[in-house]
Amino acid sequence: MVDDYRRGWALRYIREATDQLKTCQQVAKSISLIVDAARKAQAAIYFSLGDPSSIESIVNEVSDGAKTVENPVLRCLVEIERALQRIESLPASAGEEALKEANEIVRVASGIVDLLTSKD
């Protein structure tokens, strides 16, 4: 479904996102590190779907405009982007909340990446 190059990057990003969130849980709940981990998970999805820059452009355009999105895949991507924007706007004292939200993003991203990169 996805070429080996993009598959490799998707798997690398999801692995890094997971590891980074584990570190944030154990050591510090820094919002910037949590956001970075969630952005890596987002990048993993984009790589597993195709050209990341094109997908990012589409998601940004849609998330800035429409309230509701009909396409379920695009709706999921837009919701992830909006969740990331919410995390980025949290105060530094809300590390636990940011971590919870980022864990959900990484969990969803991991499922999507596994589905799209599996070699059947």
Q: Tell me: the pLDDT tens digits for 30-63?
A: 899 999 999 999 999 999 999 999 999 999 988 8
- The reported pLDDT for the residue numbered 120 is 58
- Residues 63 and 86: their CA atoms lie apart, in Å, by 13
CATH T-level topology, domain 4-117: Four Helix Bundle (Hemerythrin (Met), subunit A) (1.20.120)
DSSP of 26-62:
HT---HHHHHHHHHHHHHHHHHHHS-HHHHHHHHHHH
- The reported pLDDT for the residue numbered 66 is 63
- Residues 10 and 47: their CA atoms lie apart, in Å, by 5
Q: Tell me: the pLDDT tens digits for 56-105?
A: 999 998 888 767 788 899 999 999 999 999 999 999 888 899 999 999 99
- The reported pLDDT for the residue numbered 63 is 84
Band the pLDDT of 1: cuts 50, 70, 90: low
Question: End-to-end alpha-carbon separation of the chain, Å?
Answer: 9
The reported pTM is 0.92
